[in-house]
Structure 1
């Protein structure tokens, strides 16, 4: 890419720049703020997915008491 600086001037939160290979979209250039936001969204999605699976398992297999949880986590007295 010969006009690297000019391309980066076009990138902002409302205007992404796409790079193509053989006429097909291959890459997208994002701002660091957008990448940080994507990382936060991915982390939140992962957490919610795990919580949903845990809730489904608890509904199926039964919930444990707070004492059992502490014992399982190794924090029981």
Structure 2
């Protein structure tokens, strides 16, 4: 069940921070509507890595669609100096 609190609870932020755990963000509302999310640093880093990977996959799909030249494994080794 999501942990939802009004943003005014941040006056006593230590209590709000106690409720944050990996995989369990705290959702803050303002005027009865969702406004902010506080997440654990590990979750944040995982999200950032996932977004970066998805971006790279999107770039790869564009290369495939446009038919740009692919590198052979020998070309990659040569560029890396192996």
Matched residues in 2 for 1:37 and 1:52: separation? 22
RMSD of aligned C-alpha atoms? 2.2
- Select the residue among 26, 43, 49 that pairs with 1:17: 26
Work out which structure has the larger RCO, using CA pairs closer than 8 Å and 6 or more positions apart in sequence: 2
- Select the residue among 52, 56, 69 that pairs with 1:43: 52
How many residues of Structure 1 are paired with residues of Structure 2 in the alignment?
66
- The ranges of structure 1 where at least 4 consecutive aligned residues each deviate by more than 4 angstroms after the TM superposition are none
Determine helix, strand or coil for the equivalent of 2:11: coil
User: Which of the pair is proportionally richer in strand?
Assistant: 2
Q: Computing the radius of gyration over CA atoms, which structure comes out larger, 1 or 2?
A: 1
Q: Which residue in the other structure is 2:6 paired with?
A: none
Q: Which residue in the other structure is 2:61 paired with?
A: 52
Determine helix, strand or coil for the equivalent of 2:17: helix
Q: Which runs of 5+ in 2 are unaligned?
A: 1-9
